[in-house]
């Protein structure tokens, strides 16, 4: 072999350079591998936490809290930006975020002595703030989980987007951990059912009853026709009609309310409401429109006139269901027999009462299209238009298979009350 060839094959600096590069890549590979291993370790650990009951519960609670808080901020922000300045609005009201401890102090830790009643949402308590304001505190039942959370957000969204003198006014809210609370103006005379269902010692004369009837009708007219969004309440009944110190009515409990698309005649949805007040087409087929509220208003109207519950199984069978009994008396030309005896004793304007009963029958028509809109009902009650329609036999459901408590059961997932 020639010296030249031996010289070319001798060691040089190039192999030393190659050895240094190999070390660099080797160390880099170790770092990358370590990062990958750490990533997979964290991923597996997170999965284990999620799979554990405690981990799942904590994550659900955290997620639910964050989503509710974000939803509340979004609702209040959007509603206060757009505002509802259509009716009795004045300056756009401020919705306050209350501290949970403040509401505990105001209600004496939600003491039984301050309990006002219960609704679909949960218990309601009377409270007094440090500045002397009296409030009504509506507390979500913690065991209602997702259903209660949904009603909470629906009620907030609805009540902050509307404003009318015959709708209850929201003062604020509280979100603290699992706590979901709404704070309303306090209504001194509480709810209508205490006066027409509970054998109250306080007599409501016809003038006061008509004031309540007309106020509820105007509140519904606003929800259905005058609000910037078409809203169906879905649970119009005596316990959801609140009365202030002058017995002016305000519709409350919007936990079941639905916003209605303008281009849809009705929605197909699961039944939610109170049996005895529910329109047949909605209770049986799930067809919801504002006509369902109008049917409920017709039942309520008869209750106010008669001062009794729409269903009372302690009475004779032919008298148990109020719309059915009222219609029988109407057919026999004895309709005034259904009027509260105390009203007859204290004198009443027969023309006004007859007009109100006639309106109630129109609201209870079996075909939803035959029930007049609330604007027409208000005009009929105030004699601004003449009564030209003769009502048909009202719609009422077969009650043979129901027990005594069924008419007091509230909504939640029923497809039919029969």
For the annotated catalytic residues, the residue numbers are 235
Pairwise CA distance, residues 354 & 179, whole Å: 48
Pairwise CA distance, residues 312 & 316, whole Å: 9
Pairwise CA distance, residues 164 & 316, whole Å: 41
* 3-state secondary structure (DSSP) of residue 139: strand
- Comparing CA positions, the residue from 328, 327, 384, 337 lying closest to residue 358 is 327
Per-residue buried b or exposed e for 151-171, using 16+ beta carbons within 10 Å of the residue's own CB: bbbbbbbbbbbbbbebbbebb
- Comparing CA positions, the residue from 277, 234, 238, 239 lying closest to residue 396 is 277
Taking residue 295's Cβ as centre, other Cβ atoms within 10 Å add up to 26
Residue count of the chain: 418
- Comparing CA positions, the residue from 148, 147, 168 lying closest to residue 159 is 168
Pairwise CA distance, residues 157 & 117, whole Å: 23
What phi and psi, each to the nearest 5 degrees, are found at residue 118?
Answer: -130, 150
DSSP bridge partners of 230: 260
């Amino acid at each position: 072999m020639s010296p030249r060839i031996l010289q070319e094959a001798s060691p040089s600096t190039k192999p030393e350079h190659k050895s240094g590069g190999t070390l660099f890549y080797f160390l880099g590979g170790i770092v990358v591998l370590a990062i990958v291993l750490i990533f997979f370790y964290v991923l597996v650990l997170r999965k284990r936490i999620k799979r554990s009951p405690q981990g799942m519960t904590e994550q659900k609670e955290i997620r639910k809290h964050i989503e509710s808080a974000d939803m509340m901020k979004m609702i209040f922000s959007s509603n206060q930006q757009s505002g509802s300045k259509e009716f009795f609005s004045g300056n756009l009201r401020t919705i306050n975020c209350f501290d949970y401890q403040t509401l505990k102090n105001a209600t004496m830790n939600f003491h039984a002595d301050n309990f006002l009643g219960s609704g679909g949402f949960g218990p309601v308590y009377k409270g007094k703030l440090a500045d002397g304001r009296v409030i009504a505190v509506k507390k979500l039942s913690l065991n209602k989980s997702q259903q209660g959370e949904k009603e909470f957000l629906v009620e907030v969204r609805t009540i902050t987007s509307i404003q009318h003198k015959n709708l209850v006014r929201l003062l604020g809210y509280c979100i603290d951990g699992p706590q979901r609370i709404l704070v309303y103006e306090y209504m001194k005379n509480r709810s209508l059912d205490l006066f027409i269902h509970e054998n109250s010692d306080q007599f409501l004369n016809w003038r006061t009853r008509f004031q309540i009837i007309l106020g509820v009708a105007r509140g519904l007219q606003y929800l259905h026709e005058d609000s910037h969004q078409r809203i169906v309440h879905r649970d119009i009944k005596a316990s959801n009609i609140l009365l202030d110190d002058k017995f002016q009515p305000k519709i409350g409990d919007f936990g079941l309310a639905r916003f209605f698309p303008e281009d849809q005649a009705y929605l197909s949805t699961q039944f939610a409401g109170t049996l005895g007040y529910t329109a047949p087409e909605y209770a049986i087929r799930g067809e919801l429109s504002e006509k369902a509220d109008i049917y409920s208003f017709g039942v309520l109207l008869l209750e106010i006139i008669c001062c009794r519950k729409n269903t009372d199984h302690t009475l004779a069978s032919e008298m148990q269901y109020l719309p059915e009994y009222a219609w029988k008396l109407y057919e026999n030309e004895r309709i005034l027999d259904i009027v509260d005896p105390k009203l007859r004793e204290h004198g009443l304007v027969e023309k006004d009462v007859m007009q109100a009963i006639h309106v109630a029958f129109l609201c209870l028509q079996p075909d939803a299209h035959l029930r007049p809109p609330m604007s027409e009902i208000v005009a009929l009650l105030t004699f601004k238009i003449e009564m030209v329609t003769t009502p048909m036999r009202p719609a009422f459901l077969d009650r043979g298979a129901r027990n005594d408590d069924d008419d007091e059961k509230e909504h939640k997932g029923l497809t039919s009350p029969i």
